[in-house]
Chains A and B, each alone.
Chain A
């Protein structure tokens, strides 16, 4: 639309073009969800460019955008005012702006009060709170609603003015509406009546006119209507934006504009002054935090090394303690140690991870089980002096018991002092397409069609290209759809709670940051996310949930109970060659982190033989190394086929432990420093940019610096380009060595347990589902392949959980009721409580328990009554009764005796097994189909999974099986990995992108799939590369077969 020039009007008297100081006091950022089309950073940058002296970000009952605005104000030097908008239907809008640090605390308290009084995402504002709550260090701008005079206004206005004497203004927005003049007159009258000064502001919702289309769409989304139906709700013009100083002078009285500067000058609050104060109770009286940490480290060292710690560990701990003392992080470690200690006392398994988690200090404090003597890890990322970033420690707890830890934190520090960090839920492609499409009034059918057909994993054809190919541009609004979706991507939608990041403060948290209600009852979240916390150097403690820890805990309990061995993560025997031999055969179903298709393919090639090999194994099957093409060189060097070379000594120092190939995130950062000359600060910026590369393209700006820096230092351009590709890959899924080590310890523990105590391992895993990659069916198939006897669910034998039992002297599994779909645990608890010691002998005994019909039906479907009725048809018949509603028929029934129904056909039994349990203990579906399908539907000739190992490389084969998994890793250039299961094992199918696209309808929803293709063998890894696919699902009478799709 360009710059608007005002024609000769009454306001032309303001044509005194001269430089003036103007502070914008009223701006909404996109953290006032769906009300603004500009980010805090954009608003700050625009205000700076327009020559404003200050800008207030006044989001609606929120300071969620403050930190971003503050960071931007450091890049674009401009005074940042922190405030918030509060709207009231009768009285208008109030802006509360923090004058000082204390005022900021008062503002946070007001926001917290409003937010806590309303459900998640809403707020309740009572104007009286402005008077009753202590806002002594805040400024107030009131934009009264003049056409809705309420009777109480005179009194309220007078009280408000008194309360904010000298600190409040009546605000004027020149909106270019028809009633501007009467609004202005009313405001001036009110100003005279109460002797209240007037000040100008914009109420900006845009930083530039270019965003006006997006703002209209946001309005339509917020109001839940199509643009054309917005009617009078649409903004009639685009004046609620940041204007140039000239435009402001044309639209506002000069004195009111100058008043803004006075308001700004009264504000001294700087977010940089926010200081975190640690909770004091983690340090006992008589100790300083550092002394107490040293004491705990000493005690922990004695416990960890009963025979005395090695000298290297003592020295390492000492170094780390000194660093902690220097950077004043003792409280942080003590807080985590306190939480971990609680978990240890409660026997809750845990494992720390993060940059600082695998230090020798953390090992001694019990935060991690990674033994510093076992592996020679790089601790460079422990805490960085150069980067001044807070240490990062996440602690995983058993997922079923994490709530106990959370409740402990709330109990210990109180709800006033502890809250979860926020996660900003942003628009993703699918939600943006849907919401923008609806707002534009596109047919619902078209929107669904596009979303259905869009292949978001297709990296080569971006979504824009795919939409174009789908003919979206032919629609009159198709162009807008694409442009606006692109603009909306990444926009905040609402605040949610972080998975487990706690902020714990020394005093009331709401003086530091507003606290609001989360959707879970009794949970509260703060208004900042983890990036904000990091930017302000505030510490958060991540209390996370991990299913594998639950599974390991349950397995360890079973091992103790039935084998008498007391083990823990730290005491499981290390470096067991038999365990590594199992892993080298890719026998890793159910194991932590190394059970995916890609990991299984790598295991026989990498052949891990030590703990550090496992660390590498976990980190190497990641986008960074794969996209950077580092996997093959590493394997070649490891197998001795390629020589290990280093371009320089400096690089050798960084890459020596990984044979000259960068595999971990910190190696890449370190390389940027030693090979490209990045300073510590630049390396830190690079690390942050890596985290947000996908969405903002920030990495590109480092490209030249990195490559030029390396070329200058004599490295080859190929090496430099490869390193940059690595950085891009790491950007999305950074995997530092320390993380990999934390995961490796769990991977090894689960592998060791699987190898030595398979029955206990599968029980632990099955009793901790849902988690991991595999369904119960797949895990039980795997257990059978490991000669673990499995017994069916039985009304007389089973418990809720799966149970350990001996079958002919071999440890086995009795399946539990938890596997049966549609059962309530409370009903089963009752059944077990009332079950006779010798079990039920007739159906009538069970009927007498009067369990809910749904429970009985589910048990019959699961064939749990087999001991009583023989088969499920008979069981259902025996338990079916309608009572006395047909008395005449009762006599007839008595005289005719009862029915004996035929047992189900094996195929029907299999179908029912899957329906009720999601698995079958009978014959595999493929074996049954081979035997029972009618001649005209017979399955084509095919090779079994077990045969594939004997076939030659390059042989054309036909295989078929039940589809149990589909994966398309982001790094795979459109390749899809399918897993088929037949009665002899799993078949790995590789589906190249072009074949996949052409035959999508054959495989995308197939449950039983035939694949004709070429067998490929690399060492012990066998694939079938698909050529022709055929969906045979209509021959499979089972609709409950589960496939794990695209995880």
Chain B
């Protein structure tokens, strides 16, 4: 047998279950968010035991159990998972062909130089995958298509394959079934020429591909030109100390990667994944480049040791994309000469590295009536927004300041604004805004708050 196919029916779910082991006791499903109705893509064993299956509509699954934990399926995460799996297996197998989103082929022919018996290769694969705790269904066949169909349909030989499992248009499946041909053996029984004549070339080509075509099914896997690794932590990390061990292991992998390629990295990007929160992103710039763990670890420590995270870390990913040859000459970013114009993004990166990321921000106006809601901080470099509504000052105070209105003279107004009831941050209230001048004659934006029965200055107009 030359081809092995590995099908991972719940690849993304396996990763989630590794992260939160208590979930495995509950019926958990991943569903496609955009579908109408939303359909289930992956279901764990607890869910399957209740009769929930793939392709079932999510509302129907809800009716099967009160305890269902539905989570959104993410195509990007699934693709990354498969890529990582291929990269992992690449250490042991040379000829890998990914079959997104949830399978891959191994060409065992080159491996026969090492292991004459294909069974040994299968065992090796099982050992590798056992460490990752992913559910896998493996089948061997002479052709890649047959191996794939067998693995996905869980059949022992291709004659048993239901016609509905064949990689063809549903209309062909239906036509075959409507002629009483329910398995591949039912189809194979009839003269090929007659089948072709009546049912089309697609069927003949399909039968050929299943029975004889040993050609590689897709482009082979090539390790990416950058380093990326994502790891589930053994235990939730609440502090830098708890994270160090896993990070060091990832940096060691990076070192091996860089050494093999005689490269340096000028930047490391870390992403820390939390439960119910957006991931924390940390960029460690290494202007001179580095490739050894001993060099990289202190820089990471410098950047992260004092950071406070929004929630415990469940997973960590490390990527190094800005790579260059180790012996190559490079410009020193910190001593750039007079004529050298750094792009804004570089300046911002350098400022952020020195001052801290949170200290360098952009501003953006947004369409809201309530002044506090009418602007927001954005990441540095983005200068986008709408024009300010007329009669509003450009300079808004961080917090409105209480004023003695007797010392002010009101000019025009009021504009009555309410803090809407759906605002998550402020209490519902009503304010009357006026243009007013203080004793020095400076024009300001003041308001009277009905709830607090107080006057405040909220902003200043240009002179």
Residues of chain A whose beta carbon lies under 8 Å from any beta carbon of chain B: 1-2, 4-10, 176-181, 212-213, 216, 227-228, 231-232, 234, 236-239, 440, 444-445, 448-449, 451-453, 476-477, 480, 857, 860-861, 872-873, 876-877, 880-882, 885-886, 889-890, 892-893, 896, 898-899, 901-902, 904, 908, 912, 1000-1001, 1004-1005
In the assembled complex, B344 has its CB within 8 A of some CB on chain A: no
Known contacts A1-B428, A178-B389, A234-B420; A892/B193 CB under 8 A: yes
Q: Are B389 and A4 in contact (CB under 8 A)?
A: no
Q: Are B198 and A9 in contact (CB under 8 A)?
A: no
Distance in Å from the Cβ of B190 to the closest Cβ of chain A?
6
Q: In the complex, which of the residues A7, A181, A453, A861 has the most CB atoms of chain B within 10 Å of its own CB atom? A: A7
Residues of A within 8 A of B430 (CB): 1, 4, 237-238
Residue ID in chain A nearest B66 by CB atoms: A453
Residues of B within 8 A of A896 (CB): 191, 193-194
Distance A902 CA – B63 CA, assembled complex (angstroms): 41
Q: Are A893 and B193 in contact (CB under 8 A)?
A: yes
Residue ID in chain A nearest B51 by CB atoms: A1001
Residues of B within 8 A of A873 (CB): 178-180
Other than A181-B412, A885-B200, give 4 A-B pairs with Cβ distance below 8 A: A8-B410, A880-B175, A882-B197, A896-B194
In the assembled complex, B450 has its CB within 8 A of some CB on chain A: yes
Known contacts A448-B59, A873-B178, A877-B179; A882/B65 CB under 8 A: no
Q: Are A876 and B367 in contact (CB under 8 A)?
A: no
Residues of B within 8 A of A451 (CB): 59
B416 CB contact (under 8 Å) in A239, A445, A480, A1001: A239
A448 CB contact (under 8 Å) in B38, B193, B392, B422: B38
| Interface membership of chain B positions 427-462, coded 1 if the CB is closer than 8 angstroms to chain A and 0 otherwise | 011101110000000000000101000000000000
Residues of A within 8 A of B415 (CB): 176-178, 180, 236
Q: Are A452 and B199 in contact (CB under 8 A)?
A: no
| Interface membership of chain B positions 57-97, coded 1 if the CB is closer than 8 angstroms to chain A and 0 otherwise | 01110111100001010000000000000000000000000
In the assembled complex, B418 has its CB within 8 A of some CB on chain A: yes
Distance A430 CA – B103 CA, assembled complex (angstroms): 41
Residues of B within 8 A of A861 (CB): 178
Q: Are B59 and A449 in contact (CB under 8 A)?
A: yes
Q: Are A178 and B191 in contact (CB under 8 A)?
A: no
In the assembled complex, B127 has its CB within 8 A of some CB on chain A: no
B60 CB contact (under 8 Å) in A476, A892, A1005: A1005
Distance in Å from the Cβ of A894 to the closest Cβ of chain B?
10
Residue ID in chain A nearest B50 by CB atoms: A1001
Q: Are A1001 and B63 in contact (CB under 8 A)?
A: yes
Distance in Å from the Cβ of A453 to the closest Cβ of chain B?
6
Q: Are B421 and A216 in contact (CB under 8 A)?
A: yes
Residues of B within 8 A of A893 (CB): 193-194, 197
Q: Are B190 and A234 in contact (CB under 8 A)?
A: no
Q: Are A7 and B196 in contact (CB under 8 A)?
A: no
Q: Are A445 and B390 in contact (CB under 8 A)?
A: no
In the assembled complex, B298 has its CB within 8 A of some CB on chain A: no
- List 6 interface pairs A-B (beta carbons < 8 Å), by A numbering: A216-B422, A234-B420, A445-B31, A881-B198, A893-B197, A896-B191
In the assembled complex, B417 has its CB within 8 A of some CB on chain A: yes
Distance A872 CA – B179 CA, assembled complex (angstroms): 8
In the assembled complex, B342 has its CB within 8 A of some CB on chain A: no
In the assembled complex, B201 has its CB within 8 A of some CB on chain A: yes
Known contacts A861-B178, A882-B197; A178/B390 CB under 8 A: yes
Residues of B within 8 A of A440 (CB): 422
Residues of B within 8 A of A885 (CB): 200-201
B368 CB contact (under 8 Å) in A2, A176, A232, A480: A232
Distance in Å from the Cβ of B253 to the closest Cβ of chain A?
37
In the assembled complex, B413 has its CB within 8 A of some CB on chain A: yes
Residue ID in chain B nearest A228 by CB atoms: B422
Residue ID in chain A nearest B60 by CB atoms: A1005
Q: In the complex, which of the residues B193, B429, B432, B448 has the most CB atoms of chain A within 10 Å of its own CB atom? A: B193
In the assembled complex, B391 has its CB within 8 A of some CB on chain A: yes
Q: Are B197 and A9 in contact (CB under 8 A)?
A: no
Distance A902 CA – B189 CA, assembled complex (angstroms): 12
In the assembled complex, B398 has its CB within 8 A of some CB on chain A: no
Q: Are A1001 and B196 in contact (CB under 8 A)?
A: no
Q: Are A445 and B63 in contact (CB under 8 A)?
A: no
Distance in Å from the Cβ of A937 to the closest Cβ of chain B?
16
Residue ID in chain B nearest A888 by CB atoms: B193
Distance in Å from the Cβ of B46 to the closest Cβ of chain A?
15
Distance A177 CA – B417 CA, assembled complex (angstroms): 8
Residues of A within 8 A of B179 (CB): 873, 876-877, 880, 901
Residue ID in chain B nearest A860 by CB atoms: B178
Q: Are A882 and B418 in contact (CB under 8 A)?
A: no
Q: Are A176 and B190 in contact (CB under 8 A)?
A: no
Distance A7 CA – B390 CA, assembled complex (angstroms): 23
In the assembled complex, B395 has its CB within 8 A of some CB on chain A: no
Q: Are A238 and B418 in contact (CB under 8 A)?
A: yes
Distance in Å from the Cβ of B453 to the closest Cβ of chain A?
9
Q: Are A445 and B178 in contact (CB under 8 A)?
A: no
Residue ID in chain A nearest B391 by CB atoms: A178
A477 CB contact (under 8 Å) in B37, B417, B422, B434: B422
Distance in Å from the Cβ of A205 to the closest Cβ of chain B?
15
Residues of A within 8 A of B422 (CB): 216, 227-228, 440, 477, 480
Distance in Å from the Cβ of B54 to the closest Cβ of chain A?
16
Residues of B within 8 A of A213 (CB): 421
Residue ID in chain A nearest B193 by CB atoms: A892
Residue ID in chain A nearest B429 by CB atoms: A1
Known contacts A876-B178, A893-B193, A899-B194; A453/B63 CB under 8 A: yes
Residues of A within 8 A of B62 (CB): 449, 452-453
Q: Are A880 and B369 in contact (CB under 8 A)?
A: no
Residues of A within 8 A of B428 (CB): 1
A1001 CB contact (under 8 Å) in B64, B175, B424, B429: B64
| Interface membership of chain B positions 174-195, coded 1 if the CB is closer than 8 angstroms to chain A and 0 otherwise | 0100111000000000110110
